[in-house]
Structure 1
Amino acid sequence: MPESKPRKKTASTAEKAAPDAYKPNPVWFKPVMFGLMIIGLFWIITFYISEGRFPVQPWGSWNIVAGFGIAIVGFMMTTRWRS
């Protein structure tokens, strides 16, 4: 009885993706991440100190949402941070 040919071993998709997963972030990543967190914080502080006149007066209390939104984008970037 003839033997069948052995199959060629191929790397799985997890093994192919592994080298890319350990690449460090670009140089701009950390300054942007921390910058967004700080800008969001200053946005909220400015709103409270100016009693709603700044940064955007027509938005009213939505300035708090804008400040938190900016800061949350920065915090979400921390989940992608690699050293």
Structure 2
Amino acid sequence: MPKSQVRKKKVYTPPTDIRPAANAASKKPSPIWLPFTAVSLIVIGIAWLVVYYLSEQQYPVEAWRYWNLAVGFGCMVASLGILARWR
């Protein structure tokens, strides 16, 4: 019985028109204020929620009622949006 041929796979070569090194060089580092702003928004959001719960919903702004939760969580979500841009 004859032996079957062994198939050799071709070695992958990336296309020459795409240069990932050029894309990496064009990216600038993040500004120094970005992580500080994000961390401060997280701290402000947590502090807002803690004050809201510990004061039995009287502070920071009593007239806003449950919108105080939106402010606290909104600060934390905004910090996530800022951190998504961090390089």
TM bin, normalised by shorter chain, reads: 0.7 to 0.9
Aligned-pair identity in percent equals 33
Partners of 1:39 and 1:62 in 2: CA distance: 15
Structure 2 unmatched ranges of 5 or more: 1-16
RMSD, aligned α-carbons? 1.9
TM-score by length of 2: 0.70
Partners of 2:59 and 2:71 in 1: CA distance: 12
Partners of 1:61 and 1:53 in 2: CA distance: 11
Answer whether contact 2:61 2:68 (CA < 8 A) is retained: yes
Q: Match of 1:4?
A: none
Structure 1 unmatched ranges of 5 or more: 1-10
The runs of at least 4 aligned residues of structure 1 exceeding 4 Å deviation read 14-18
Partners of 2:73 and 2:66 in 1: CA distance: 12
Which of 70, 75, 78 is matched with 2:75 structurally? 70
The alignment covers a number of residue pairs equal to 70
1:81, distance to aligned residue in structure 2 (A):
0.9
Q: Match of 2:25?
A: 19
TM-score by length of 1: 0.73
Letter in 2 for 1:42: A
* SS of equivalent residue, structure 1 residue 76: helix
